[in-house]
Amino acid sequence: MKLNIHSRVKLACQQFETAVKLFLTGGDRFSVITLAGAADVIFCQTLSRRGIQNLTQYIADTKKDSRPIGKIGREINDLLHINDLKHMDDQSDVYVDMNLEECALGAILKALANYHALDERNQIFVDGLKAWVKANLDPSIYNVNCDPNWNSKQN
Amino acid sequence: MDSQKYHKKEIARTQLHTAILLFLQKEEFASAITLAGAASNILGQFVKIEGKKPFLDYARDIHNHLIGNIPGRASYNHHIDKKLGVSFLKHMNSDDAEIIELDLKDCAAGTIIRALNDYTKLYGSDEPLVKAFYNWTWKNMNGPLMMEEYRNSGFREKK
């Protein structure tokens, strides 16, 4: 056995970067969601310890949502089916009804916002994803240019 | 693309295949741990549904053989998750340490072995990827010695 010391945020970055590689190369979408979801838990906690706002807190502030942050975070995770892909108990349905591609993209973009705020990030992955977003997503639905004054036509 | 229904058994199978690939290609062990851990949670439940003994209960029997008592299911599952590093890679509470000490490769091999124990009860062990992983363990984890130790332990699985 070769025990080594690891920083948990660095291991989370590795998991997120593997999720991005799988996503950009058309790999297994279930694994993209599970890895991005796991990494994001550690990103959120790390940002909170460093006094930096994470995406869930930002959403709560913007939407003036006063519910506990944990509850809002769980709601977002359930929307992306993050827990369905890693848990099953006696009461669980054996089927998961989901838009796999959209959930994979959502899990990646949610974690990306938090990954971007970390000193440990690898800018190549951020730039790669931004380029993918610009090339593949509808600019009337997604803010592909990261414009702070942009409004979705879906609203 | 619209919503589609996916069977959880297939979701677990896909994630476990990805974990084995990441492991055998020596690409990234932390992700292999998380994916095999996720697959394990689901596969164990299906093994139970099919009336077979899941890895967790097998491990509890070994604990009983070696130590003399049967630990609770939830607490022993949590203990194994911690031993294999699974919990450290997907959870972090406000008072948890930022630094951990792990043998990532060893933990990744362990999580995949645990998941495959349940997987092979559902799908058998004939798939090339499963055989490739078992070949790796035989060569790199001293299979002959492990089998000798098993034979000498006196432990036999109750079906």
Q: What is the DSSP string of A37-92?
A: HHHHHHHHHHHHHTT---HHHHHHHHTT--S-HHHHHHHHHHHTTTTTTT---TTS
Q: How far is B134 from chain A (nearest CA, A)?
A: 19
Average pLDDT over residues B117-129: 97
At position A134, the amino acid (one-letter code) is K
pLDDT of residue B104: 97
- Torsion over CA: B55, B58, B64, B66 (sign): negative
Q: How far is A129 from chain B (nearest CA, A)?
A: 19
For B75, phi then psi, to 5°, come to: -70, -35
pLDDT band (50, 70, 90) for residue B42: very high
B1 → closest Cβ in A7, A28, A99: A99
Residues 6+ apart with CB under 8 A from A91: none
Where are the domains positioned within chain B?
Answer: 8-92+100-153
pLDDT of residue B154: 84
From the list A53, A16, A8, the residue with the least C-alpha distance to A33 is: A16
Whether the pLDDT of residue B158 is over 80: the answer is no
pLDDT band (50, 70, 90) for residue A72: very high
Whether the pLDDT of residue A71 is over 70: the answer is yes
How would you class A152 by CB atoms within 10 Å of its CB: exposed for 0-12, middle for 13-18, buried for 19 or more? exposed
Residue of A nearest to B5 (CA): A97
B8 → closest Cβ in A11, A18, A88: A88
The fraction of chain B above a pLDDT of 70, given in percent, is 97
pLDDT band (50, 70, 90) for residue B159: low
Distance from C-alpha of B39 to C-alpha of B35, rounded to nearest angstrom: 6
Average pLDDT over residues B53-75: 94
- ipTM for the whole complex: 0.94
Decide if A76 contacts A58 (C-beta within 8 A). no
A129-145 pLDDT, tens digit each: 999 999 999 998 888 88
The single-letter DSSP state of residue B125 is S
pTM here is 0.95
- Is A36 strand, coil or helix? helix
Q: What is the DSSP string of B35-88?
A: HHHHHHHHHHHHHHHTTS--HHHHHHHHHHHHHSS---HHHHHHHHHHHTTHHH
A26-35 pLDDT, tens digit each: 999 999 999 9
From the list A103, A106, A64, the residue with the least C-alpha distance to B4 is: A103
B93: chain A residues, CB-CB within 8 Å: 45
Helical (H) or strand (E) element with A5:
strand A4-7
* Helices A29-49 & A55-62 angle (0-180, nearest 10): 80
Query: Any idea which residue has 């000498």 for tokens?
Result: B152
Decide if A47 contacts A118 (C-beta within 8 A). yes
Q: Encoding tokens for residue B159?
A: 């079906």
A98 → closest Cβ in B3, B15, B97: B3
CB of B25 within 8 Å of any CB in chain A? Answer: no
Distance from C-alpha of B42 to C-alpha of B35, rounded to nearest angstrom: 11
Average pLDDT over residues B136-155: 92
Which string of b and e fits A96-120 if b means at least 16 CB within 10 Å? bebebeebbbbbbbbbbbbbbbbee
Whether the pLDDT of residue B38 is over 60: the answer is yes
Distance from C-alpha of A14 to C-alpha of B84, rounded to nearest angstrom: 17
Whether the pLDDT of residue A155 is over 70: the answer is no
Mutate to test the interface with B, among A6, A79, A120 (most CBs of B within 10 A): A6
Distance from C-alpha of A48 to C-alpha of B77, rounded to nearest angstrom: 29
pLDDT of residue B21: 97
Q: Measure the CA angle with vertex B158, ends B154 and B159; round to 5°.
A: 145
